[in-house]
Structure 1
Amino acid sequence: MKRTGTVALINASRGMVAIATADDAYTIIELLSDFELNIGDEVSWSNGYGLGHEVYRNIDTQCSEEVYVQNHSVSQDCLRDQLLF
């Protein structure tokens, strides 16, 4: 199941990114490379609620990279903890 979202928050020092999804709050990923994501970028991925190593695509730049998916369905209240701020 393909999903999409918008980059909402980034902890650059930890390489952690929160992606706001229309269907259920936030997905948290960890960057494993120099994958360029900026707040507001649209992102898509094929394995809906898959965890661990997955390929995510920055729709704005048309670049894809492997990331490590930490969590899905994260509430606004838990974002700072999930991003290790």
Structure 2
Amino acid sequence: MIQIKGLKKNFGSLEVLKGIDLDVQEKEVVVIIGPSGSGKSTLLRCINYLEVPTGGSITFDNIPLNGDANINEVRKEVGMVFQRFN
């Protein structure tokens, strides 16, 4: 299970994620849609710790993620498909 509580991400003074709450249960499929610039990629990058969140918390199977060794276990279970690979 992925549990996100109050997730925030700022780039300088630009507030991109404004307190996102999301629970994803085991075997549940979630699709994140929205217009360009709405924070979809930033949310996924924060879950995978490709970006460090400004605030809030992310847990994966009750293990808090904080960018250290725990993230390698999550990356084995969470996929991210890039629209364009450069």
Q: Do both share a fold (TM > 0.5)?
A: no
Taking structure 2 as the reference length, what is the TM-score of the superposition? 0.25
Give the structure with higher Rg (CA). 2
Taking structure 1 as the reference length, what is the TM-score of the superposition? 0.25
Q: Which structure carries more helix by proportion?
A: 2
Q: Which structure carries more strand by proportion?
A: 1
